[in-house]
C-alpha cells in the first residue's frame, strides 16, 4: 500500500511503486491567508498543476510535509474534509520554519509532499456516537473528521463536540463554530478556562464538559486531541465512565523529517508515527511506553 494518488503514469511511480509527490515536493500557491487566533494563521492553498490537484486525495487525520522555500520542511495535519472542502492548513508560529511561513503573503509558493499516515477510522465507526474532544489548537486535526462526519450525518448516532481554550480569543475556527452551533444534529459544548466579560458560554476545563454533555459511553468513539495535561484528564474521565480503551482515539505529534518511515525521528515504542500513526487508540498509546 504505497501512498500513490492513482495516476501511475506521471513519474517514477511505475518503476519504484512511488508517486513522485511522496518524495518530491509539489508546488502549491497560497491563495488566501486568514488570521485565526494569536500566532495561528490558516493558509488556503491550491495546486497550479491541475492533474496533481485531481489526484491529491486525503483521508481525515492524515498529514502532509510542507516546504517553506529557503527555510525547510515541517509536518502539519490536514484540517479540510476529504470531500468538498477548500485545501488548507492551519499553523501556529513556533519554530524557524513556521515563523518563515507566517511571513509569507498570498501568491507565494509552498512545497507539499503527501498525504501521509493512516488517518482516522471512518467506515468502521458508522452507526456509533462520536464525541470530539479538543483543547486549543487540538481542534485543527479534528476539523477534517468533524466536517466529514457532518457531511454524512445520517451514518452516525449522536455527534458531540467538547471544545475548550484558554480564552475566547483562543478559540479556533470561529466561523465554523458558529455554523456548527446552529446545526441541530451537532451538539457543541464550548468552554474557556476563566469567565470573561461578554462570554455567556461555559467556563472551566474540557473534562468537566463530559458530565455536562451526558456523554454516552456505549456504542461510542471519542476523538481526543489537545495538550498532554488535557489529554490525561479527559482519558481518565472516559475510563472512569467505563469507555473501552479501543474507543478512545487520538493523534500523536512527533518530530518528522521524511514522512515515509525512513528517517526514524518519529519512532514511538515499536511504531513510527508517520506510517503506523499518527492516529492511535488509547490501548495502543498505553503500550508505546513514551510520553504523549
Partner 1 sequence: MSMYILSSDEISQLVTELQASYAVYGPQVEPQTRQVFFDLINDATALDLEAPIPSMPVKEILFPQMERILKYKYDAETQSVEMARQYFEQPKVLFGLRPCDLAGIQALDRFFLGQEFVDDVYLTHRRQCLLISNTCLHPFPQCFCVCTHSGPDADEGFDLDLTKLADGYLVKVGSEKGRALADAHNWTPAKPQQLSEQKAVVDKCIDLFPDMATDNKAWVSRVMNRITTGFIKSETWEYIGDQCLECGACSFVCPTCSCFNIEDAQTECGECERLRTRDSCSFEGYARMAGDHNPRQPVEDRRNKRFFCKLSYSQSKKYLRPGCVGCGRCQWVCPGDIGLPNVVQYIRREITGGEA
Give the residue, chosen from 34, 94, 174, 241, that forms a contact with partner 1 under the rule CB under 8 A. Answer: 94
286 binds partner 1 (CB under 8 A): no
254 binds partner 1 (CB under 8 A): yes
- Report, in Å, the least distance between residue 163 CB and partner 1: 21
102 binds partner 1 (CB under 8 A): no
Q: Which lies closer to partner 1 via its Cβ, residue 164 or residue 259?
A: 259
- Of 24-32, 145-153, 202-210, 234-242, which part binds partner 1 (CB under 8 A)? 24-32
Give the residue, chosen from 40, 224, 260, 285, that forms a contact with partner 1 under the rule CB under 8 A. Answer: 260
- Report, in Å, the least distance between residue 102 CB and partner 1: 13
For partner 1, the binding residues in 70-89 under the rule CB under 8 A are 70-74
Contact code string over 110-149 relative to partner 1, x by CB under 8 A:
-x--------------------------------------
Round the CA-based radius of gyration of the chain to a whole number and report it: 19
Give the C-alpha separation, 85 to 90, whole Å. 14
- Of 10-18, 121-129, 153-161, 165-173, which part binds partner 1 (CB under 8 A)? 10-18
Task: Specify whether the CB–CB gap between 71 and 97 falls below 8 A.
Answer: yes
25 binds partner 1 (CB under 8 A): yes
Q: Which lies closer to partner 1 via its Cβ, residue 32 or residue 211?
A: 32
For partner 1, the binding residues in 33-72 under the rule CB under 8 A are 67, 69-72
- Of 103-111, 122-130, 176-184, 239-247, which part binds partner 1 (CB under 8 A)? 103-111
Biggest alpha carbon–alpha carbon distance for the chain: 62
Q: Which lies closer to partner 1 via its Cβ, residue 237 or residue 276?
A: 276
Size, binding site for partner 1 by CB under 8 A:
47
- Other Cβ atoms closer than 10 A to 51: 12
Give the C-alpha separation, 83 to 148, whole Å. 7
151 binds partner 1 (CB under 8 A): no
Give the C-alpha separation, 174 to 168, whole Å. 10
Give the residue, chosen from 31, 85, 108, 155, that forms a contact with partner 1 under the rule CB under 8 A. Answer: 108
Binding site for partner 1 (CB under 8 A): 1-3, 12, 16-18, 22-25, 27, 67, 69-74, 94-98, 107-109, 111, 253-255, 257-258, 260-268, 270, 275, 290-292
Amino acid at each position: 500500500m504505497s501512498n500513490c494518488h492513482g495516476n501511475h503514469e506521471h513519474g517514477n511511480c511505475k518503476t519504484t511503486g512511488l508517486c513522485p509527490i511522496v518524495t518530491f515536493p509539489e508546488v502549491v500557491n497560497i491563495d488566501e491567508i486568514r488570521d485565526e487566533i494569536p500566532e495561528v494563521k490558516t493558509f488556503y492553498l491550491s495546486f497550479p498543476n491541475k492533474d496533481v490537484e485531481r489526484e491529491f486525495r486525503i483521508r481525515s487525520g492524515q498529514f502532509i510535509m510542507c516546504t517553506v522555500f529557503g527555510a525547510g520542511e515541517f509536518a502539519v495535519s490536514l484540517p479540510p474534509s476529504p470531500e468538498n472542502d477548500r485545501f488548507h492548513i492551519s499553523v501556529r508560529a513556533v519554530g524557524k520554519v513556521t515563523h518563515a511561513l507566517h511571513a509569507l503573503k498570498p501568491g507565494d509558493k509552498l512545497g507539499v509532499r503527501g498525504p501521509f499516515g493512516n488517518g482516522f477510522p471512518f467506515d468502521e465507526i458508522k452507526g456509533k456516537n462520536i464525541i470530539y474532544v479538543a483543547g486549543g489548537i487540538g481542534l485543527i486535526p479534528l476539523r477534517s473528521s468533524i466536517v466529514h462526519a457532518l457531511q454524512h450525518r445520517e451514518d452516525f448516532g449522536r455527534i458531540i463536540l467538547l471544545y475548550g481554550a484558554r480564552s475566547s480569543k483562543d478559540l479556533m475556527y470561529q466561523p465554523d463554530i458558529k455554523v456548527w452551533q446552529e446545526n441541530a444534529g451537532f451538539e457543541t459544548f464550548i468552554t474557556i478556562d476563566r469567565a470573561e466579560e461578554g462570554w455567556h458560554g461555559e467556563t472551566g476545563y474540557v473534562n468537566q464538559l463530559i458530565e455536562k454533555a451526558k456523554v454516552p459511553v456505549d456504542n461510542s468513539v471519542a476523538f481526543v486531541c489537545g495538550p498532554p495535561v488535557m489529554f490525561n484528564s479527559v482519558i481518565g474521565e472516559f475510563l472512569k465512565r467505563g469507555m473501552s480503551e479501543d474507543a478512545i482515539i487520538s493523534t500523536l505529534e512527533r518530530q518528522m523529517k521524511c514522512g515515509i518511515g525512513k528517517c526514524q525521528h518519529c519512532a514511538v515504542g515499536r511504531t513510527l508515527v508517520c506510517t503506523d500513526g499518527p492516529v492511535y487508540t488509547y490501548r495502543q498509546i498505553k503500550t508505546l511506553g513514551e510520553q504523549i
